[in-house]
Amino acid sequence: MESGSANGELTRRFYEGLLDWGTEVHAFPDGGSYTRFLLRGLPVAGVFSVEADDDLARLPTQWWPFVSVTSVDATLERAIALGATPLGEVVKVPGEFAAAEFIDPSGAVCGVWQAGAHTGAQSIGEAGALSWTDLSAPDPAGAVAFYEELFGWGHAPVEASAESYGFFTLDGAVVGGLSRSDLPAAPWWRPHVGVNDFDTAVASALEFGGDVGAEVPHVAGLARRAMVTDPNGIRLMLIESKT
């Protein structure tokens, strides 16, 4: 997962404190920077610097998840044909990776990643790493139709859920969630990072200068969750880890 930040140092301090992430900072000749966050030395996320006049600065501040694909070029072309809006050009590092982001028809940002030597996040599904992702959108049926055509995903509703919720599936395996949102906030893909001690993590988010929303209503099959906004306004979900 990836995000832009207008204050990389503030972002680094927050996630180092909240999730005990290590960091590698790469400075660019133009004055920008890219921070790679690490868990036990393995990459789990990245943040790039954003200037006030950048087009990306106009987007809602949030972490973006990436879906692994065999061809970024072909997937982005297909997404555009289905009504998505690309965010800039495809980024390619020969032999390493190719990546692109788009705004889906609901208004949520999604990334696609074609792995080379750099496979992306190398720690998934454990405390301190990306553990779950779901889409919060006002038109779940439209989202299902778009991602079914783009990635071949199926959809299964969750019975007896406290909110309108369903699971995206691929070849019978659950790959993400889908929640109906009637809130004024922009639709977004919500990356969830696992935490072993949920209550302590929520308290730590406040201690390190963030903000915490109300705990998300329970969904069968998922643990306790809450939305955290870091000091730069970047949104992230915390979920109680089972590991």
3-state secondary structure 66-89: EEECCCHHHHHHHHHHCCCEECCC
Q: Report yes or no on 49 lying in a domain.
A: no
The share of the chain scoring above pLDDT 70, in percent, equals 91
Q: Report yes or no on 141 lying in a domain.
A: yes
Structure confidence at residue 219 as a pLDDT band (50, 70, 90)? confident
Dump pLDDT digits (tens) for 225-235: 999 999 988 88
Q: Report yes or no on 16 lying in a domain.
A: no
Q: Report yes or no on 159 lying in a domain.
A: yes
Span 68-92, mean pLDDT? 95
CATH number at residue 204: 3.10.180.10
What's the rounded Cα separation, in Å, for the pair 215 and 200?
14
Q: Report yes or no on 226 lying in a domain.
A: yes
Q: Report yes or no on 114 lying in a domain.
A: no
What range does the domain containing 170 cover? 130-240
Span 56-72, mean pLDDT? 81
Dump pLDDT digits (tens) for 119-139: 888 778 889 999 999 999 988
How high is the pLDDT of residue 60? 61
How high is the pLDDT of residue 61? 72
Cα–Cα distances in angstroms (integers) from residue 88 to residues 46, 94, 230, in the given order: 18, 18, 25
Is residue 55's pLDDT more than 60? no
Rounded to the nearest 5 degrees, what angle is found at the Cα of 206, between the Cα atoms of 226 and 131?
Answer: 35
The share of the chain scoring above pLDDT 90, in percent, equals 60
Output the pTM of the full model. 0.89
Rounded to the nearest 5 degrees, what angle is found at the Cα of 16, between the Cα atoms of 231 and 1?
Answer: 75
Q: Report yes or no on 1 lying in a domain.
A: no
Buried/exposed 136-166: b ≥16 CB within 10 Å, e otherwise: bbeebeebbebbeebbebbbeebeebeeebb
Query: Taking the CB of residue 28, how many other CB atoms lie within 10 A of it?
Result: 10
| Range in 16-25, 33-42, 157-166, 179-188 the model is least confident about | 157-166
How many structural domains is the chain composed of? 1
Q: Are 166 and 147 in contact (CB under 8 A)?
A: no
Is residue 239's pLDDT more than 90? yes
Q: Report yes or no on 106 lying in a domain.
A: no
